[in-house]
Chain A
Amino acid sequence: MNSPGLLSDPSLAWSPFEPGSDKPWDLARVAHLHRRAGFAAPWAVLERDRRDGPKASIQRLLDGEARTADGKPAAEFESLLDQMGRQLAPAAALPRLQGIWLYRMIFTAHPLRERMTLFWHNHFATSNAKVENPALMQRQNDLLRTHALGAFPALINAIGKDPAMLIWLDSTVNRKAKPNENYAREVMELFTLGRGHYSEKDIQEAARAFTGWFVVRDRFQEISAQHDDGEKTVLGQTGRFDGNDIPPLLLRQPACAEFLCGKLVRYFVTEVDAVTPELIAPLAQHFRDSGYNVRTVVERILSSNLFHDEALRRHRVKSPVELTVGTIRALEVLKPTLPVDQLAEACGRMGQKLYAPPSVAGWDWGPSWANSTTMLARTNFVLSLLADKERANLGALAAKHGRGNNSPSFLIDLLVQDAYDRKVQERIAKASSKEVPALILTSPEYQLA
């Protein structure tokens, strides 16, 4: 794709965004921030954040709001959801597990934290299809949420002992005599360094360090008699390493911060433009200097000129979860609460089954969300949401926000802002008021973030 100027100017790209006459803090910028850093936002939040400016808006995303989408105190809501998660039976149905998370995403006072939890779920992609234990999957989800905006070293340590992860990667048995290479491979290839930054020998040696790590009756356990206590050489370092010694060796590699920052930039900034090592370098340096503090690097991204650059608007494809949760939040379809297990199934038909990513590499994202089955599923989601008159009353929504006339302008402002060119605007202006919401929500522009 054409490379907008900022992508080749790392220093300007990562400098803080300051609104100006040529780059006003307008509705389109506020909505962009919430599409990327949260799951869209209701009209009142867009209005408030337009008044308050970028700094306050970004700070609120990082800290979370005081109240949920339906006005409950944030802490009370979180502890209620934690409790629901803890009560999941090991044999609970997958849609029940998925539904709890979708419910949290819809109502949460801290959309960025859920968004980052989703990022880590994709990064440490683990599927219940193999684990077959929703209670363990929920525990992993809680772990990802705890560290979502925290220190990456703590997260990578914890995930290596997470029972769901180890079951998923067939790494519940790590005997001295025959080391299991799978976790050692994935921790380098997918979790920290990326291909090309380690050798097969590094994997084999690291696998020896992980010997003695077992999962017994759904719990992580170290069995020292099965640990290979000999010397290993991993990434140029030699020592009598055990599994705990491996993450620090990985974090010392410059490739680690570069790999993670590259993924964060694709998640928050663009899925289609060329992202060069030069662009990533200052961000990766900042990430390492902060001791791999995720909040620090995410704040840097969200505050940057690059993030707010008009030229990169809608250079991501909304994932099914972003599309459905975002639509529900923007349209305030909150009461009575949608059947979230059905919503989970709809996301599955669109290609994103939560807790069941297609492989340990997670989902492919970007253009690969779109194929004919998934596009039909998106349209069918929209049609069924709009047909649910009990929940989706768009006339009342416009009236509540003082935009009670019949023109499509309120829905355009709320959902797509500046996305349409003249021809599309004209076609929508011609549509009947019954057709307008479906046309906007199924338009190619609305599928982008």
Chain B
Amino acid sequence: MSPNRRAFLKSSLAASTLVSMGAHTVPGFLSRSARAASAGSANGRVLVVVQLLGGNDGLNTVVPHGLEGYPRNRRALRLAPGAIHKITKEIGLHPSMGQMAKLHEDGRLSVIQGVGYPNPDRSHFRSMEIWETARVENGALETGWLGRAVDALPTKAGDDFRAVQIGTRSLALALKAKRTEIPSVASLEQFRLQLSGSDSDRRAERDALDQIARLDRDANDPLLGFMRRSTLSAYDSSKRLEQLAPASADSKYPTYGLAKRLELIAQIIKAGFGTRIFYTSLDGFDTHANQLGTHAALLNELSDSIAAFHADLASAGESDRVALMTFSEFGRRVRENASLGTDHGAAAPVLVVGPVAKPGLVGEHPSLDDLDDGDLKHHTDFRRVYAELLENWLGCPGAPVLGTGFDPLPLLRKA
């Protein structure tokens, strides 16, 4: 664990002691009709973030096949121009991203090129911290950008959890909030208490377990308080999610892990939960060696899963209130390495799927000649993308979360 990450955990623990158990920390479960929940929240819009772990090779995702520098730097890893899904004459999507190309044709995909931050760091861990906290300075890592957004969203007793991570990773730094423990759900099956005995035995045992965690403890022991809130958040969210209908038997999702996670997200959205932010990830992008096949399979999983998710929401009439963003901690070196792979780089594209204002490319492709120590230079700060999602999508002021000076990059249709 990096020192920064540890410092952040420490300060987030300290911060949590300021808050006693209350409406903010316990997702509430007053029974309400499904639709009332979304109607009741500020605007019912939902953000889904898909983190691509390991550093996605942007150059072989949004491919500048028509630029002279591409074949020069990518000899073994060069993708055949004929197979690329063209967006413009010079730029197109990886051959495995046919479903994504269809979303583009349907006017549902924006590709923001050249996204990054000043003085890029090539350590996975540090760069992930920067993207997830939206803080480029060292230190000052108390919370994640989405955690701060959750802290800022209006909330009242009885609300559903405002944000949730779907997946088996430990909670993303992006979701660390001060006022709440954001739940993380691996799968619905794993998210049930395995109680046994008769109904009344089970109820009694659930109550006893709940009580032992709920008892107030010494406020001077933040770690104990944190474990206690985490346990309660688990019991409460599990009780709420047990009410969710199982996924329909005629699921149209592919069998990929990411597709299954997005399907669960769609179930929660369609059930009318008040959850505004969903977070999940796809791992394996650290392609130092033999990249071609691995990367193609990952992009296929990404593309097919997102397309199935979008189609599911569209047929439920929900796709205009859901925006999905993908990001990775960095792109990769322009020049391939000797192991048929690529090493850690810098600027890369960000994809946004949903009711986008301007489908297609946003911003120029970074130059393949004017490089920064072998890496692409960014022209769009990632915090401008975040500002758009916060201010114009979730309806949450950007400056308190991101700091000042980051104008929203126009991406999504205004309601």
Interface set of A (CB-CB < 8 Å, partner B): 1-2, 169-173, 175, 177-182, 185, 189, 194-195, 200, 266, 271-274, 314-315, 317, 349, 351, 358-377, 379-380, 383-384, 387, 421, 423-424, 427-428, 431, 435, 438-439, 442-445, 447-448
Contacts and interface: CB of A to CB of B under 8 A. Distances in A.
B31 interface: no
Interface string B335-361: 001110101100000000000000000
B288 A182 contact: yes
Interface stretch (B83-91, B100-108, B223-231): B223-231
A438 B211 CA distance: 12
B51 interface: no
Interface residues of B, number: 68
B61 interface: no
A424 B123 contact: no
Given A180-B337, A371-B183, A442-B212, A361 B122 contact: no
B233 interface: yes
Given A173-B338, A358-B169, A428-B212, A2 B123 contact: no
Contacts of A421: 217-218
Nearest to A194: B3
A272 B222 contact: yes
A444 B217 contact: yes
B209 A423 contact: no
Contacts of A177: 338
Interface centre among A200, A369, A444 (most CB of B within 10 A): A444
Contact of B9 (A179, A367, A431, A445): A367
7 closest cross-chain pairs (CB), A and B? A178-B338, A170-B288, A372-B234, A372-B183, A371-B184, A375-B234, A444-B227
B10 interface: yes
B194 A372 contact: no
B196 A315 contact: no
Nearest to B183: A372
Given A359-B124, A372-B185, 13 more contacts: A1-B223, A169-B288, A170-B286, A171-B288, A273-B10, A369-B170, A379-B234, A383-B194, A431-B208, A438-B205, A438-B208, A439-B208, A444-B217
Contacts of A444: 213, 217, 224, 227-228, 231
B223 A315 contact: yes
Interface centre among A200, A315, A372, A445 (most CB of B within 10 A): A372
A1 B233 contact: no
28 contacts: A1-B222, A171-B288, A172-B289, A173-B289, A180-B337, A189-B123, A272-B9, A273-B10, A274-B10, A314-B223, A315-B223, A360-B124, A364-B5, A368-B9, A371-B183, A371-B230, A372-B184, A373-B186, A373-B191, A376-B190, A383-B194, A427-B212, A428-B212, A435-B208, A439-B208, A442-B212, A442-B231, A443-B213
Interface string B302-323: 0000000000000000000000
Contacts of A372: 181, 183-185, 191, 230, 233-234, 237-238
Nearest to B333: A181
B223 A448 contact: yes
Given A371-B165, A423-B216, A448 B224 contact: yes
B339 A170 contact: yes
Contacts of B2: 195, 361
A83 B339 CA distance: 36
B1 A366 contact: yes
Contact of A376 (B126, B193, B217, B344): B193
Given A180-B337, A272-B222, A371-B230, A423 B215 contact: yes
Interface in B158-199: 165, 168-171, 181, 183-186, 190-196
Interface centre among B124, B234, B286 (most CB of A within 10 A): B234
A195 B194 contact: no
Interface of B: 1-3, 5-6, 9-10, 12-14, 53, 122-126, 165, 168-171, 181, 183-186, 190-196, 205, 208-209, 211-213, 215-218, 220-224, 226-228, 230-231, 233-235, 237-238, 286, 288-289, 337-339, 341, 343-344, 373
Nearest to B9: A367
Contacts of A200: 122, 373
A367 B226 contact: yes
Contacts of A384: 194
A273 B222 CA distance: 11
Contacts of B208: 431, 435, 438-439
A364 B227 contact: no
Contacts of B183: 371-373
B217 A367 contact: no
B94 to A, nearest CB: 21
Contacts of A438: 205, 208-209
Contacts of B223: 1, 271-272, 314-315, 317, 367, 448
Contacts of A271: 223
B186 A180 contact: no
Contacts of B343: 180-182
A349 B191 CA distance: 10
B193 A195 contact: no
B281 to A, nearest CB: 10
B6 A349 contact: no
B330 to A, nearest CB: 13
B224 to A, nearest CB: 6
B21 to A, nearest CB: 12
B230 A375 contact: yes
Given A173-B338, A361-B125, A364-B1, A380 B209 contact: no
B212 A367 contact: no
A314 B212 contact: no
Contact of B6 (A314, A366, A383): A366
